[in-house]
Amino acid sequence: MKEIINAQRNFFNTHATKDIQFRRAQLKKLQQALEQNEKLLHEAIYKDFKKSEFDNYSTELSLLYKDIKEAQKMIYKWARKESVPTGILNFPASSYIIPEPLGVSLVIGAWNYPYQLSFAPAIAAIAAGNTVILKPSELPTNTAAAMAKIVKENFDPAFFTVVEGGVEETQELLKQKFDKIFFTGSTTVGKIVYKAAAENLTPVTLELGGKSPAIVTENCNLKVSVKRLVWGKFLNSGQTCIAPDYVLVHNSIEQRFLNQLKIEIESQHFAFENDNFLQIINNKNFDRLVKMLDPQKIFYGGETNRESRYIQPTVMQNVNFDDVVMQEEIFGPILPVITYETIEEAIVKVNSLPKPLSCYVFTKSNAIKKKVLKEISFGGGAINETVMHITNENLPFGGVGFSGIGNYHGEAGFKAFTHYKSIMDKPTWFDPFIKYYPHTNFRLKLMRWIMKL
Ligand code: NAD
């Protein structure tokens, strides 16, 4: 690992990555490599957890193509020197900010959207002029191998390489010195990464998880709200960091809401056989999820099959905050429904848990929308929608508190891998005496006058 990092550091020190044309060429190469290997990528992810070609394209590859296109288009603007005002105190001078790449970056990916969560930060790192060591999650073994193969065939490892491996390899990597660490995964491992980064004062971006609530008010458009909720919850079999984890519904519409959930789940044909629903990633997660199912509280679904790692889309009712299902992020196809009486009560309940990655509100009321946005702190979210905010590259994506540090996507991704170097540039033809010794009363008076200007 030391060798790889040294090679990347030496390459970074040639300053080749500072050239915008170089960065654009690498991005183009990645785009072509992904396009040419779509079949390999589809087959690998299907083997790992039966992700369909439709889902692989719509939730992984298409977003990466979009990211690359955006970076290629915007890179000159993002990377250019920005002039800023200087002020009378320093007259005559100019001031500007130079975006510079941080250096050798480490990207650690999560398994649930393996291509997207590995390559999207890598695209941002490359656009910003860094070298990249990518450590994808080891859980989907075939996708990790496919990514390693594609990168190896197309890139000089001194610029961009994939290190395969699990916890041990990640910990070994974390002992090394990087200029940036970008981690996507659980809050527990996020803390391990943060501690390791502190040793070298390495800047981090931590994209973590949490329990993202969806609040459904009595005056929402029930049909559309439930349709969007069901889609966002059961997409990827609920293994989505920004999936609505649980629903808080106004008690006056509970029964109508539950009935509509059942109708909508059935109409979206979530079935393993027709590739409309994928597997739970491994037995460990399957067993963890099954423990959350309380037979007394299942309103819909509840069927499980360990051999095929299948859990039917399941709705639980009469849930309270002490239930097992409310003790940790679910990260699977189980939707607990909790009722509330007043919006104040719902907000207090959400705020009793750590700050979530997302929050969703389904309402026609502007007052409630404003109140929720003002009184609940969360990473990002949507009104009358779920998940889709992630697809707008103009919205920085990231968490707050236990759901993460920093953000990315679009220009925010470029910024995550960039240091902004501030420069004051002074000519020598004029050198006012005021700041120099010896200090006199006159100079102090002059100073007071100038500082007030
Ligand atoms: P994880 O934390 O178990 O693993 C993430 C990465 O960390 C993997 O590459 C893994 O090899 C490594 N790792 C695991 N244990 C480690 C250890 N002890 N020391 C060092 N490295 C270790 O997370 P996961 O199971 O892959 O993903 C699920 C979590 O990620 C959920 O909490 C989810 O919400 C979150 N997530 C967040 C985002 C986001 O963008 N914010 C996206 C996807 C997933």
- Tell me the fold of 2-208+401-420: Aldehyde Dehydrogenase; Chain A, domain 1 (3.40.605)
Q: Write down the pLDDT at residue 214.
A: 98
pLDDT value, residue 5: 97
Q: Which atom of ligand 1 is nearest to the CA of 187?
A: 32
Q: Where in the chain is the domain with CATH 3.40.605.10?
A: 2-208+401-420
User: Percent of the chain beyond pLDDT 70?
Assistant: 100
pLDDT at residue 149, as a whole number: 98
Q: Which pLDDT value is given to residue 275? A: 84
Of 207, 218, 254, 264, the catalytic one is 207
70, 220, 241, 411: the catalytic one is: 241
Q: How many whole angstroms from 109 Cα to the centroid of ligand 1?
A: 7
What pLDDT score was predicted for residue 89? 87
* Across 349-374, average pLDDT: 98
pTM above 0.75, yes or no: yes
The whole-number average pLDDT for the span 398-425 is 98
Q: Which fold has domain 213-391?
A: Aldehyde Dehydrogenase; Chain A, domain 2 (3.40.309)
Atom nearest to 210 CA in ligand 1: 34
In this predicted model, what pLDDT tens digit does every residue of 211-268 receive, in sequence order?
999 999 999 999 999 999 999 999 999 999 999 999 999 999 999 999 999 999 999 9
Q: Which residues approach ligand 1 with their CB closer than 6 A? A: 108-112, 117, 135, 137-138, 166-167, 170-171, 184-186, 189, 192, 207-209, 241, 329, 331, 357, 399, 404
Reported as a pLDDT band with limits 50, 70 and 90, residue 431 is: very high
- Kindly tell me if the per-residue pLDDT of 133 is higher than 90: yes
CA of 168 to the centre of ligand 1 (A): 14
How many whole angstroms from 219 Cα to the centroid of ligand 1? 37
Q: How far, in Å, from the CA of 315 to the mean position of ligand 1?
A: 26
CA 193 – CA 182 distance, rounded (Å): 9
From-to residues of CATH 3.40.309.10 in the chain: 213-391
- The reply to whether 207 belongs to the active site is yes
